[in-house]
A and B are shown apart, each in its own frame.
Chain A
Amino acid sequence: MRNFLNKKVQAIEPSGIRRFFSMASEMKDVISLGVGEPDFDTPWHVRDEAIYTIQKGRTFYTANAGLLELRQAIAENIMRLQGVAYDPAKEVLVTIGGSEAIDLVFRAVIEPEDEVIYTQPSYVSYLPCVQLAGGVPVAIDLKEENNFRLTREELEAAITDKTKVLVLSFPNNPTGAVMTKADLEAIVDLIIEKDLLVVSDEIYDRLTYNDDEEHVSIISFPGMRERTIYINGFSKAYAMTGWRLGYCAGPAQIIEQMTKIHQFTIMAAPTMSQYAGLEALKSGEQDVEEMRESYNQRRRFLLSELERLGIPCFEPLGAFYIFPNISQFGMTSEEFATRLIMEKRVAVVPGTAFGKSGEGFVRISYAYSINELKAAIERIEQFIEELKQEK
């Protein structure tokens, strides 16, 4: 028989997280700090709206780009948060999670050999999606001493004649890093000068903890709206991961082509999820604020506990991850995480699951209750005590 498989697909590495997942899910009594999704239930009024949608029999396809009311609410939301206007009819596309939007944008813009710059440690989707689209992924290894922010020098060094796209993903998974207004300001003119398209994944935009500055999107800088695909979704801010609902906004010519692919591959996002998303945007502000406050408390708790345990960690100001430096223990991230789960039954994700520059770090998620975090920290403390005695 022939080998039926596509070589490009075969060559793609399975997610580093998957192996860890198999290990962790076979064990009993695991305290997991390993997930990338909220622990909160979707707010009840949102769930109720979806139930009502089904009861009313609104179970048909929506427009390919999504319910117009939803696109309007999305455009209003972006206006409210970032002061940038999008035309709901032509510049907003409702997708199956931010995930689909990430895939669509690369498929819509990449030609063979086009280089796509992204920052590492990185959310796991960009690299394979760029590869599948036939582009050449170029990683910039972000540095702990820069608080895992992208600097102008780093960006400048990575740009070549072939660079077409820059992926920005802040607040960041897995590091929790944010790019402030000033950080973005430093790279904007370079992006414009080099005529790059920015794919800005801002799925954690509502979860930031900087008292001095709310999240600023790159679309709010002059000249950037025209060259940015802004990606967001409902998963993180509204605790709606399983609903599979996200969206993107950008210049009409690009959104039109993305909508074309979406139309032939997906048709439209699930109708009930779209009505639920509309309800979340209309009346979910209080929920977002309460969850954010709760994440912030957990973030402070973990930071203070890690400090007590002598594990250095830069202060993350976004998302719900903390990215401590474990290099003092003389092990790879993989070894550290493996021993921690084998010996103490605590699951964290090795930094290397997010690219090789994650070496020396682990990702700890704080999408867990304080009591769960306390229990996990107790075990981590024992683990570290034992490691010290080995020395």
Chain B
Amino acid sequence: MDIREKILKLIEHDSRLTHKEIATLLGLEEALISQTIKELEEEKIICGYHTLVNWDKTDDNMVSAIIELRVNPQRGQGFDRIAEKIYHFPEVKSMYLTSGGFDFLIELHKAPIREIADFVSSRLSIIEEVQSTTTHVILKKYKEYDTLFIKKENNRRMVVTP
């Protein structure tokens, strides 16, 4: 693994590590870490630093949804052009072009179910190229970004062993 990859793997899971800490963990110079991270940011390989929130623990009656979209690409208009019409909506949290039985998979931000219904019917479905939508309401999130959202059994290792 090269240095870039090593740094990325570390901060992908803990973006709060300081450059000094990363340097210690990897056995490298701090200056090299700072320089490399700067480059990675400039090249947009590092795209942001966010916090993983388990919203299910915070709120009331908001839901999140995943939507499968089938589209009809028009002449001279590839998938990217259609995608653009969709991903600019602030409701869309993530969006992928996929292989298989449908074309796009999008995940919406949490919202009241009413708003989600409105978004699908009055924003997505009316887009000319959109053939069909299948909306899945997320009932429970088990794992996101390598992190379990359900309580893990306590570590049962003994305190002292040979």
Contact = CB atoms under 8 A, between A and B. Distances in A.
A173 B161 CA distance: 12
Interface in A266-300: 296-298, 300
A123 B162 contact: yes
B162 A300 contact: no
A176 interface: no
A21 B159 CA distance: 7
Interface size class of A (residues with CB under 8 A): 20 to 34
A30 interface: yes
B158 interface: yes
Given A34-B159, A35-B157, 17 more contacts: A20-B160, A21-B161, A25-B158, A30-B159, A32-B159, A34-B161, A36-B162, A39-B157, A124-B162, A125-B162, A297-B26, A301-B21, A301-B24, A301-B25, A304-B24, A347-B159, A349-B160
B161 A17 contact: yes
A370 interface: yes
Contacts of A15: 162
B24 to A, nearest CB: 5
Interface string B124-162: 000000000000000000000000000000010111111
Contacts of B90: none
Contacts of B155: 39
Contacts of A36: 161-162
Contacts, number: 53
Interface in A342-366: 347, 349
Interface string B1-32: 00000000010000000000100111100000
Candidate in B10, B27, B157 with the most chain A CB atoms within 10 angstroms: B157
A76 interface: no
Nearest to A209: B27
A37 B21 CA distance: 25
Interface in A117-134: 123-125
Contacts of B159: 21, 24-25, 30, 32, 34-35, 347
Contacts of B21: 301
Nearest to A308: B24
B162 A370 contact: no
A54 to B, nearest CB: 20
B27 A300 contact: yes
A76 B65 CA distance: 49
Contact of B157 (A20, A37, A124, A370): A37
